[in-house]
């Protein structure tokens, strides 16, 4: 069965960096675009970034552009999110999500990893 397992969350000071990882199993990772979606405490879902299956395209939400970098290692079935210049407002649960079809059809979600940005 499809499994997505995030890791790397934690507490970091404003201006700091973190790298999230997402290990995938149960499907052909190298044939699916993958996304990060986040949810700040008590709020709704916010799309963060996407990378295509072969890495030919990447897109970011304006709120994270130039600070976050999405990447993947298909040989290791792993998705990453490098987060730099973190802000208090980046505090959220970060979900690794598989795109099962066009236009944000997110058919599988990880359990999420909590990132807390606080001094």
Partner 1 sequence: QSVLTQPPSVSAAPGQKVTISCSGSSSNIGRRYVSWYQQVPGTVPKLLIYENNKRPSGIPDRFSGSKSGTSATLGITGLQTADEADYYCATWDGSLSAGVFGGGTKLTVL
Question: Which residues here bind partner 1, judged by CB under 8 A?
Answer: 35, 37, 44-47, 50, 59-62, 95, 100-107, 109-112
**Residue 27 or 47 having the CB closest to partner 1:** 47
**Residue 89 or 107 having the CB closest to partner 1:** 107
The span from the CA of 86 to the CA of 64, in Å, is: 9
**Residue 12 or 38 having the CB closest to partner 1:** 38
CB of 55 to partner 1, least distance (A): 16
CB of 75 to partner 1, least distance (A): 26
What φ, ψ does residue 88 adopt, rounded to 5°? -55, -35
CA atoms within 13 A on the CB side of 67: 17
CB of 28 to partner 1, least distance (A): 19
The pair of structure tokens assigned to 44 is 């709704």
CB of 110 to partner 1, least distance (A): 8
**Residue 41 or 119 having the CB closest to partner 1:** 41
Strands (E), the chain: 3-7, 10-12, 18-25, 34-39, 45-51, 58-60, 68-73, 78-83, 92-101, 105-109, 113-117
């Amino acid at each position: 069965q499809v499994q997505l397992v995030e890791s790397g969350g934690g507490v970091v000071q404003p201006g700091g960096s973190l790298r999230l990882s997402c290990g995938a199993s149960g499907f052909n990772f190298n044939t699916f675009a993958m996304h990060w979606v986040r949810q700040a405490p008590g709020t709704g879902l916010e799309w963060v970034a996407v990378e295509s299956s072969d890495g030919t395209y990447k897109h970011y939400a304006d709120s994270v552009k130039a600070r976050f970098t999405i990447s993947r290692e298909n040989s290791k079935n792993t998705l990453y999110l490098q987060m730099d210049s973190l802000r208090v407002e980046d505090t959220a649960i970060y979900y690794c999500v598989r795109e099962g079809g066009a236009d944000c059809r997110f058919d599988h979600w990880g359990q999420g990893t909590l990132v807390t940005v606080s001094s």
